[in-house]
Amino acid sequence: MNVARTIVAFLIAPLMTPLVLLGAAQLRGAPFNLSEQLGLFVFVGGFAYAATVLFGVPAFFLFRFKRWTNVILYGLGGGLIGFLVSVILGYPISFDMSLKYRGLWALAGALSASVFRMLSGVKFDHVSSAPTHRET
């Protein structure tokens, strides 16, 4: 495990959340206002970094302890974290938020976790480093 790559991954991966949410807003036809978009990017990014500290770092250590390196598991874990954050953030507003809203947060979390996995350098196929001694 390369510590520098892991730190860079923790710094870059949470930025996928505001990108997904703002991209979805643009696909729905929201008017584009650069200063408003930048403000929303920073606001949502703050929640993404908070979720990374509260949920992503413990998940990273759990995955490392269990030696889970599958990209699907990372995506499912990130999606679960994104869904959990949408429930936490949506509770004071309305307990019955639409599934599309929760799904966008889950998608953003899954993408963030997948980007983290790619940037952190987790091996796709973890092979033992034991010598082979040329046996057949």
Angle at 63 between CA 78 and CA 118, to 5 degrees: 60
First to last CA, the chain: 31
Residues in Cβ contact with 14 at an 8 Å cutoff, skipping those fewer than 6 apart: 45, 48, 49, 51, 52, 56, 112
43 lies in some domain: yes
127 lies in some domain: no
Per-residue pLDDT band for 100 (boundaries 50, 70, 90) equals: confident
Mean confidence (pLDDT) of the chain: 85
Q: Give the pLDDT score at 82.
A: 92
128 lies in some domain: no
Parent domain of 84:
3-120
Judged against a pLDDT cut of 70, whether residue 130 lies above it is answered with: no
Across 104-132, average pLDDT: 79
Per-residue pLDDT band for 2 (boundaries 50, 70, 90) equals: confident
Give the Å distances, CA to CA, from 87 to 30, 33, 102: 24, 28, 7
What is the tally of structural domains in the chain? 1
Q: Give the pLDDT score at 95.
A: 52
39 lies in some domain: yes
CB 52 within 8 A of CB 10: yes
14 lies in some domain: yes
> pTM for the full model?
0.80
Q: Give the pLDDT score at 30.
A: 80
Three-state secondary structure call for residue 77 = helix
Single-letter code of the amino acid located at 83: F
- In whole angstroms, give the CA distance from residue 14 to residue 27: 21
Judged against a pLDDT cut of 70, whether residue 4 lies above it is answered with: yes
State the residue for tokens 């046996």. 135
**Helix crossing, 34-51 with 16-27: angle to 10°?**
140
Across 61-89, average pLDDT: 91
- In whole angstroms, give the CA distance from residue 10 to residue 47: 14
